[in-house]
Structure 1
Amino acid sequence: MARVFEFIKDITDRKDLWKITVKVKDKWNATKEGKDFFQIVVVDSKGDDIFVLVPNELKQKFENEIPITVNNTYTMQNFQVTKNDDQFKPSHHEFKLRFTGGTLVEDVNVHQIADPVAKFKSFGDILNGDFREDYLYDVIGLVDEVGYQQPHYGNRKVQVNFILRDLGNNVINCTLWENYALKFFNVQNKANEGPTIVFMKYAKVKHAGLLTGNTFNIVSLAAGIESGTITNVTETPSQMMSQSSGGSQFTPYTAEQKFTHNAEVMPLSKIVQLAEDTKCVTVVDTVKIKPNKSGWYYLTCYKCPKQCFGDAPPYRCIDKHETETEIIRYKMDIEVAAGDVKATCVFWDRECAQLLGISASDLRAEMLGIGITNHLVYPVQMDEITGRTIAVKLKWQVKWKTGSVMAIHDGADFVNEIQSSFPPGDGPQGNLIKSDKTIAKSEPYGEIDPFFAHKYSDELDDE
């Protein structure tokens, strides 16, 4: 009598003679102790999956004689069944399977098994600690902010840190490494003004945030909501975001909504009276640059956003990371005003580059080209920063009595909209000055990386 088909959910180690019909969900190669093998995750008609290891001695057989391919269906039977005790588990099944010399694989694409549906881990669960660090999860979200970037190979791995947001406005910190980071940079460069949605399969979750490793992860990205389906997924990014957040319709923030998100809109006169650190949006006139002993730029660490010190490489930050090459970033104290109220705001690399239309490294190269090496000599281009009326998103820091600028916007309609919410006399007195270098939506200018040193401003010299 032939053995009947059974379901993945019923598999235990009470026997090895299981017979299942499955579709190959994912496959990847691996190496251990110099021996190559491959691993797969298979799913059955009920949507349950299980992790399968094909050892080195069977690798050629199941790649050439009976090739196992993603999205194909098979009948598989006879395995070694053991506890799923791997450090990181792409399947949450209690057990895992290993092919043996007695494993039989046949009936290629005979069975009709639907494509597996992604089971997204909600951001709420992650933030509430409702996850296991040994489980790998599927995660999807909208890129809300991009932080530290290492886009090129050098002293360390290629890396990008960013924040993902879901439909419920929950946010988690994420890191992509090497090939996945390069894929992210490629999509970001093509995104123009559209949002970027990231879909990560088999992501590692930690209490400090969400990180992806380099063993199991499959990262799909979509630039723009109308970009179509994501690789290996039959739903559009919008549909997947809705599924991940309980069916809500996905509507991305406009640039203006994102600008004011998680910030209080108030005039500068109210900001300077705040008793605690607060994120604010306001409208100001840029009055003048306030020179200080740090000059108009500084060296930053390749590994973190902190300032580096030294007259020659290797430069070192306060965490003692060593940086072999000069990474130049803007940092300038600028006096701003609204009516009779004045304050000092720290403008960081991204915002200065947007106002000037040139990166700090390129401007310094111009200065070196004319023989000026002193960082206390402010280029004449700096004059373009003053005399502007702009909307700023800043973090008012009570300790320093300064605002750390997080984003800027010079759109006349948006500036007027923000200013119209202020009491009479609380707004800037100057007219909006437009230049050929439009700031747009606080997106990076050219090849300038978004920079998040403003989040660490207490660690930099503000004297």
Structure 2
Amino acid sequence: MSRKVDSVKDINNSKETWRLAVRIMDVWSVVNNKGIEHLEMIVMDSLGDRIQVLIRHDHLLKWKEVIKENMTCIINNGSVYNNDFQWKVCDHSKKLVFLGGTTMKAIELQNIPPKGYFFKDFGEILQGKCKTDRLEDIIGVVSEINHIQSNTPGKKVVVSVVLKDLKGNCINCNLWEIYGSKFLAYYNDPKNNGAIVILLTHAMETLCVTVATTLKFTVSKYGWFYYGCTRCSSKAPNPEKAYECSCGQNVEQPIPRYKIEIYVSNGESKYRFVFWDSECAAILGMTAEFMHNSMVENGEYDPMVYPDELEMLLNKKMAFRVKVQPTFSQASVWKLCDDEAFVKEIENDYIVEDV
């Protein structure tokens, strides 16, 4: 008598004798800071339910060459634990861990859907209907390049773009290292002159929303602006010289762009927020280039002298969407709103104080 197949949605920690008929949707290797490697993967059954699977380092050699992405198979036996992965890729509350007694047999299973994507709606992301420990699939067309950080000593390639979906919703997206380099190579190729669509799997949402009041400037050694590309907001390697930016622009004369650090508070809590060019220009009603030129016309060349007009950024209560950077004890402002009704709505509906 053959054993019946269990459904992924029914997996719990009541037993280890599970029998699953699944497709391997994705598989990847993880190496920790001690150089120890393990495998993680996502499997899906015929009902479309998914669960995250862990193969520990002591079972790695047995399975690393056997498991192939998109294969269908029968898996027998495995331990079940709470899904405590730092980054989760599906909604199942449990994870399956391979045992020494786990077996797997490759078999053609036509009733299991082929590998696909579970795209997260941009509208839900903008409304905060997402989990910060969840990796999502997203797709959108590139509508704008915000910033390009080149591969220089001590820094990795980062390309910040704005993605737009079919409904017109926009979100900011960072492409790191190899993904940023691939994007730039495609973007700067003269043969590719159409719209650029980006599809990301297992993308991470690292932004959060808060309400705070701006207090005072944090004076950095760079002053209130930096010199950047005329096309994107990437920093110029030398404001005195022409150069070719990573975005493909030949920059004859870099232009000043806002980068201002401000202390903000929410009750007794204080933190440093970094305000970038577009946000500052929107509030002040003038570009950093215009303000800098006005200073120079009045005989002031020192970037450490903060113009009086910048005071308009202070003593404002606003709703912020920020990317927290704990390594530098600061947060980068991605979007802000000072509309009183909206700020009140955010406070009432989303901001919860811990007791």
How many Å apart are 1:361 and its aligned residue?
A: 6.9
- 1: CA distance, partners of 2:103 / 2:286: 72
Alignment match, 1:50: 51
Aligned in 2, Cα 1:35/1:398: closer, same or farther, shift over 3 Å?
closer
In the alignment, is the contact (CA less than 8 A) between 2:149 and 2:234 conserved in 1?
Answer: no
Cα deviation, 1:356-394, whole Å, max 9, x if unaligned, reads xx42279xxxxxxxxxxxxxxxxxxxxxxxxxxxxxxxx
Alignment match, 2:164: 165
* Map 1:227-376 → 2, pairs under 5 A: 299-300=227-228, 305=233, 326=238, 358-360=250-252
How many Å apart are 1:109 and its aligned residue?
A: 3.1
How many Å apart are 1:155 and its aligned residue?
A: 2.4
Given residue 109 of structure 2, which amino acid in structure 1 is its aligned partner?
A: H
Alignment match, 1:94: 93
In the alignment, is the contact (CA less than 8 A) between 1:20 and 1:75 conserved in 2?
Answer: yes
In the alignment, is the contact (CA less than 8 A) between 2:147 and 2:234 conserved in 1?
Answer: no
In the alignment, is the contact (CA less than 8 A) between 1:76 and 1:103 conserved in 2?
Answer: yes
- 2: CA distance, partners of 1:115 / 1:62: 22
Indicate yes or no: 2:23 matched with 1:111.
Answer: no
Gaps of 5+ in 1: 210-297, 309-324, 331-348, 363-394, 406-454, 456-463
Q: TM-score, normalised by structure 1?
A: 0.47
Q: TM-score, normalised by structure 2?
A: 0.61
Alignment match, 1:194: 194
- 1: CA distance, partners of 2:44 / 2:197: 26
Given residue 70 of structure 1, which amino acid in structure 2 is its aligned partner?
A: E
Aligned in 2, Cα 1:327/1:13: closer, same or farther, shift over 3 Å?
farther
Count of aligned pairs between the two proteins: 243
Q: Secondary structure at the match of 2:59?
A: helix
Aligned in 2, Cα 1:24/1:185: closer, same or farther, shift over 3 Å?
same
- 2: CA distance, partners of 1:61 / 1:195: 44
Cα deviation, 1:283-342, whole Å, max 9, x if unaligned, reads xxxxxxxxxxxxxxx7459xx95989xxxxxxxxxxxxxxxx536688xxxxxxxxxxxx
Aligned in 2, Cα 1:196/1:400: closer, same or farther, shift over 3 Å?
closer
Cα deviation, 1:170-203, whole Å, max 9, x if unaligned, reads 1011111111211221222236320101111111
Structure with greater strand percent: 2
- 1: CA distance, partners of 2:287 / 2:182: 38
- 1: CA distance, partners of 2:161 / 2:234: 17
Percent identity, aligned pairs only, is 33
In the alignment, is the contact (CA less than 8 A) between 2:186 and 2:192 conserved in 1?
Answer: no
Alignment match, 1:135: 134
Indicate yes or no: 2:7 matched with 1:7.
Answer: yes
Given residue 22 of structure 2, which amino acid in structure 1 is its aligned partner?
A: V
How many Å apart are 1:402 and its aligned residue?
A: 7.0
- 2: CA distance, partners of 1:401 / 1:126: 30
- 2: CA distance, partners of 1:187 / 1:87: 32
* Map 1:70-89 → 2, pairs under 5 A: 70-89=69-88
In the alignment, is the contact (CA less than 8 A) between 2:16 and 2:78 conserved in 1?
Answer: yes
In the alignment, is the contact (CA less than 8 A) between 1:47 and 1:116 conserved in 2?
Answer: no
Alignment match, 2:331: none
Given residue 25 of structure 2, which amino acid in structure 1 is its aligned partner?
A: K
Q: Secondary structure at the match of 2:80?
A: strand
How many Å apart are 1:59 and its aligned residue?
A: 1.0
Radius of gyration: which is bigger? 1
Cα deviation, 1:91-128, whole Å, max 9, x if unaligned, reads 2211111111010111x133222213311110110011
Given residue 172 of structure 2, which amino acid in structure 1 is its aligned partner?
A: N
Alignment match, 2:21: 21
Q: Secondary structure at the match of 1:90?
A: coil
Aligned in 2, Cα 1:123/1:13: closer, same or farther, shift over 3 Å?
same
